[in-house]
Structure 1
Amino acid sequence: MKEQDKFWELSTGKIFKELNPEEEKILNQLLKEKENQKTFAEIEKIHRGLKKSLPLQSASQSRSWEKVSGHFKLRKVHLLKSALKYAAILIVAFLAGVLIKTNLTSQPTPLVYAELKVPLGQMSEITLYDGTHVWLNSGTTLKYPNSFGTESREVFLNGEAFFNVKPSDIPFKVKLKKSEIEVLGTSFNVVSYAEERSSQITLIEGAVRINSVTGKEITRIKPKEQITIPDELENIKIKKVNTDFYTSWTEGKIEFDEERLFDIAFRLERWYNVEINFTSAEAEDLRFSGTVLKNKPFDQIIKAIGILLPVKIKYQNKLGEKDIITISINDKPM
């Protein structure tokens, strides 16, 4: 982390009384520089101004503060047990309304939204304001408010996430690119990346209603059902599935059961931040069954696939870029 970024993070922690003794020591050392002293005084001034403005939910004050100070900072978010201990997750906070209270009118408390962005090759999890727990897969962005209203609980998703929704009489809605999911309390997995042409919802338990972006009901699914929704909302397909294959990633593993190698590669690309290419459709259509563990090095996993399937694998290490893997059919008998 750059020294200036570290200074902003420590300064914010100081104001919200979140520093440990070691961090206090580091901050005091940085404050010996006159420029840092001026910056810290400015931070305190803005913070005092915020305390006089319209009250915010206590759970979101620090996120709002990050935006007002005009800086994006790297925050540490706990990863899943089987992944690395910490990951640098970019949290972008912004105000969705006016913070300043005028003398003419009293404004309602504005919602404060945050965006949690999970880099490729990492995973994260978060508990929302209402107690709903969300696991986020690689390359996923979740936008969520500091609190929910009395009519609905809404979040916005781009990527893959597993939701364990806290039961409530207030509907919980997940806004996707071309549709929305509505539930009261349930658990389900969602895959809805902006660059893909469809969204996929797998229901573990409870009930799910699928709506258009305008809120009009499209259909409903039952536990152990999976729905694939093309972006044009036509040719929607529902099928029975083994839900373990779509939730095991939250435990740091991916299970495959006779899945196309092309589809497996697509998931591995995000999980390990690599690029996988095929030289033929025949190689793409090969089927594979097995379990991939996140804590295993990628080169071990790709070598195992090369041993179990009739393929040749070419691995190119790219310094500072994604590694490139090329898979082709092995013409020689195994």
Structure 2
Amino acid sequence: MAINMRDNNTISKIIFSKIFSKLSKAEEVILNEWLKDDSNKKLYEKITDPERILNKAEEYDKYSEKLRKPKLSDRYWLLKRYAAVLIPLTIIISSLFLINPFKKEITYQDLCNTGSTPSIILSNGNKMDISDKNKEVINSIGIVIKDTMDLLTCALAQNVDEENIQNIEILTPIGKRMTITLSDGTKVYMNSGSKIKFPNKFKENNREVFIEGEFFFDVAPDKRHPFIVQMNRSKVVVVGTEFNIRSYPDEITVQTTVSSGVVVFSSENSSVNLISGEQSVFNQISLGIEKNIVDIYDFTAWKEGMFYFNNRTLEDIMSELKKWYGFEYIFDNEVSKHERFGIELKRDVPLDKVIDLINSTNTIQIYIDEKIVHIK
């Protein structure tokens, strides 16, 4: 009869036999097949770790009849005695790791929702990946694609015929950045999970884009034709300057940070002028606008492919990590949200490395439970 490899009881017995060198040839074949899976191999190493076995034996000893505490040389004998006589095989194997032992171990990488490609939506509603296979179609509307490592770059031609002018929309998925050079020479940096709508060629009297997400604009100067960035309930008007805008739909504030030059941020009820080093924070619920002096790099490091958290709360940090890696998380208590950290890392590091760094402070514990990242 064929043995179902998902049968925990069968595998438990085989592993237990292996521990005490009582494995048959048929069982050896089954075990070797099971160990081909990397997660099973890691699990097996945990189960067969001598120190772990001894610890579990001692835990069982606490609940057994009042037996004398064995010496080190007796502990292996005691484990054999318990295993062979008192403890059902499936119980001792399961007890070695306190969870279903043959369930695939969930890693931080498993939780990340990355790997998609930036996409473009044409005026006729057609959506396609920005990739080599669609290059011919994308080139036909005046967009040239250049892929440089993790940063996808698009440039719009300046010689698009009037009859071919159309509004297009570009979207960046989780874990991706890209840059776009617009038809007027303005350079746009797009962060993860963002989208922008614009014409493939600006008309002479209008330079206007619509955004959602986070962007850094290096606007080509043109005093006669201001550059306008439209958001849900606000806009920014500039002539020639560099600035960052953060306007994600799941956040109640819109942040505008000026790197150089002057911008005018306007909401439905008010407006504010900003110069280099200044930031406006617009609350979309109260409709109030705050004006602050900030460290520009704190809010623009992302475009250089960096995480930069300067004395930021863990609540802010986890929100930013989620937007880049695409995982779900829960704070187990309110206190943890307000812990502050200073972190500077490249964005191409795996999520587990970032989590390990935070956990190494010993002030916070971050772990996975049921495919959710928990913080306490």
What band does the TM-score fall into relative to the shorter chain? 0.5 to 0.7
* Contact 1:140 1:159 (C-alpha < 8 Å) held by counterparts: yes
The match for 1:187 among 242, 248, 252 is 242
Deviations 1:191-218 (A, max 9, x none): 00122212110000000011236xx861
* Contact 2:151 2:176 (C-alpha < 8 Å) held by counterparts: no
User: Which residue matches 2:254?
Assistant: 199
Letter in 2 for 1:253: M
User: Which residue matches 2:52?
Assistant: none
Deviations 1:294-324 (A, max 9, x none): 1111101111101025111112585xxxxx3
CA RMSD of aligned residues (A): 2.6
Give the whole-Å Cα distance in 1 for the aligned partners of 2:299 and 2:220: 20
User: Which residue matches 1:158?
Assistant: 212
The match for 2:293 among 240, 247, 250 is 240
Are residues 1:177 and 2:232 paired? yes
Give the whole-Å Cα distance in 2 for the aligned partners of 1:119 and 1:178: 23
Aligned residue pair count = 237
Deviations 1:122-157 (A, max 9, x none): 111111111111110111000011122233310000
* Contact 2:267 2:287 (C-alpha < 8 Å) held by counterparts: no
Give the whole-Å Cα distance in 2 for the aligned partners of 1:79 and 1:253: 19
Give the whole-Å Cα distance in 1 for the aligned partners of 2:197 and 2:253: 20
Are residues 1:271 and 2:324 paired? yes
* Contact 2:265 2:280 (C-alpha < 8 Å) held by counterparts: no
User: Which residue matches 1:135?
Assistant: 189
Deviations 1:214-269 (A, max 9, x none): xx861111110010011146331011000011111111102111110000110110
Q: Alignment partner of 1:143: what SS?
A: strand
Shift of residue 293, structure 1, vs aligned partner: 1.3
* Aligned residues with identical type, % of pairs: 30
Letter in 2 for 1:289: G
Structure of greater Rg: 2
Are residues 1:124 and 2:178 paired? yes
Q: Where is the strand percentage greater, Structure 1 or Structure 2?
A: 1
- In the TM superposition, 1:37-116 aligns within 5 A as 71-76=126-131, 78=146, 84=150, 109=163, 111-116=165-170
- Runs of at least 5 residues in structure 2 that lack an aligned partner in the other structure: 1-119, 132-144, 155-160
Residues 260 and 146 (structure 1 numbering): CA distance in 2 closer, same or farther, change over 3 Å? same
Give the whole-Å Cα distance in 1 for the aligned partners of 2:317 and 2:147: 23
Residues 300 and 134 (structure 1 numbering): CA distance in 2 closer, same or farther, change over 3 Å? same
Residues 242 and 309 (structure 1 numbering): CA distance in 2 closer, same or farther, change over 3 Å? farther
* Contact 1:203 1:224 (C-alpha < 8 Å) held by counterparts: yes
Q: Alignment partner of 1:149: what SS?
A: coil
* Contact 1:226 1:241 (C-alpha < 8 Å) held by counterparts: yes
Q: Where is the helix percentage greater, Structure 1 or Structure 2?
A: 2
Letter in 2 for 1:118: T
User: Which residue matches 2:310?
Assistant: 257
* Contact 2:151 2:178 (C-alpha < 8 Å) held by counterparts: no
Deviations 1:161-180 (A, max 9, x none): 01000111210000011110
TM-score, scaled relative to structure 1: 0.65
TM-score, scaled relative to structure 2: 0.58
User: Which residue matches 2:375?
Assistant: 327
